[in-house]
Amino acid sequence: MNNAKIEFNRPYMTGKEFEYITQAKLNNALSGDGPFTKRCHHWIEENTGCKKALLTHSCTAALEMAALLLDICPGDEVIMPSYTFVSTANAFVLRGGVPVFVDIRPDTQNLDENLIEDAITPKTRAIVVVHYAGVACEMDRIMEIARTHNLKVVEDAAQGLMATYKGKALGSIGDFGAYSFHETKNVISGEGGALLLNDSATVLRAETIREKGTDRSQFFRGEVDKYTWQEVGSSFLPGELVAAFLLAQLEEAHAITDHRLAIWDRYHAAFEHLESKGRLRRPCIPESCQHNAHMYYILLAPEIDRQGVIAQLKQHSIHSVFHYVPLHNSPAGKRYGKVHGTLAVTDSNSECLLRLPLWVGLSEAQQEVIVDVLTSAIS
């Protein structure tokens, strides 16, 4: 048995990161919005079709900007899944908003579009969707509900770079989209993110909020002759070194995605027979979605002890992890959020979901070991 450790995630380097960082230094432009930031903005706009992309220092920051742009006020309700990362909710709670947790679909772990309408009240302002594992939510239906009820849509597309819904890039469909370039995502800059604006009318205000609430971006373009404090904002922009690193990664995004998809497909084929025996369920990719292989997860049959499976994998030096503790069960989620209806699918799927190693460089031999150990652990 191969005893070399198989990490859950290993950050991938394209090889150009440090060349670009050196260039950024030679440009003598280290603060935000220099040439590398502009090239990243351009890359995202070209590859997603959004009206404007703005780099941020995290997806968390991009979501916080979206909450500011939506003028979320104390008591405003925001519909979202409970099965998500804390930042989805925190961004709105920071403005006094109330997350209203709605259950997920049993097949994609995404917000169940058929449960949204019933959760809408006169206080509802927005729907925040999370494209889990880079697989899109049912966006046509969700956008239709939002337009009917005059609500805004924010896409938490932290995991969604290079994935599409009916040919449209995730993050480019709602009013706002948020990407993450955290080290655990497909394309990385250590910490990093971007806000996608899909309505040009919001661009100037977003630039202001991102630059400490000032019109400094307009000042640098020569559109105003001095810059002043215009409204509430913060510093949401990354420095050029981060943007230089990120550009090297974005330029390889297609190759990175192809590589990850090949690994994902191998897992998927290898687990087919365990699914037909009822030992696990594999991820479901609806026909309208092209995913990006952000994650390979399985849903273990309820009678299987997940902690035991994780321990057995660990004995073979394989690091596997479960995922979110649903927000409605967390101390802050109970304090700040509201539950709509039953969250039965969220509760049951979150208890049996297991994520397997998936990173560029994971070899076929390593993958075979993972499949073998897992198969014997749950057969």
The footprint of ligand PLP (CB under 6 A) covers: 58-60, 84-85, 87-88, 130, 156, 158-159, 180, 182, 193
Distance from chain centroid for Cα 187: 11
Structure tokens at 319: 């690091």
Nearer residue to ligand PLP within complex by CB, 60 or 202: 60
Do strands 52-56 and 98-102 pair parallel, antiparallel, or not at all (unpaired)? unpaired
Q: How far is the CB of 86 from ligand PLP (least distance, A)?
A: 8
Alpha-carbon distances of 57 from 4, 13, 108, 351, rounded to whole Å: 34, 19, 28, 32
99 beta partners: 78
How near is the Cβ of 136 to ligand PLP at its closest, in Å? 13
**Residue 4 CB, nearest distance to ligand PLP (Å)?**
28
The smaller minimum CB distance to ligand PLP, of residues 185 and 316, is found at 185
80 touches 100 (CB < 8 A): yes
Output the six-digit token pair for 149. Answer: 């009820």
Nearer to ligand PLP, 88 or 349 (CB): 88
Shortest approach of ligand PLP to residue 77 CB, angstroms?
Answer: 20
Q: Which is nearer to ligand PLP, 189 or 214 (CB)?
A: 189
CB of residue 88 vs ligand PLP: minimum separation in angstroms?
A: 5
* Nearer CB in complex with ligand PLP: 90/317: 90
CA distance 207 to 202: 9
Min dist. Cβ of residue 2 to ligand PLP (A): 30
State the minimum distance, in angstroms, from the CB of residue 61 to ligand PLP.
7
Phi, psi of 194 (to 5 degrees): -150, 145
Count the helix, strand and coil residues of the chain and give each as a percent rounded to the nearest 5. Answer: 40, 15, 40
Scored b (16 or more CB within 10 A) or e, 290-321 reads bbbbbbbbbbbeeeeebeebbebbeebebebe
Residue number with CB closer to ligand PLP (77 or 155): 155
Closer CB to ligand PLP, residue 89 or residue 120? 89
Max intra-chain CA distance, the chain: 71
Distance CA 123, CA 294 (A): 34
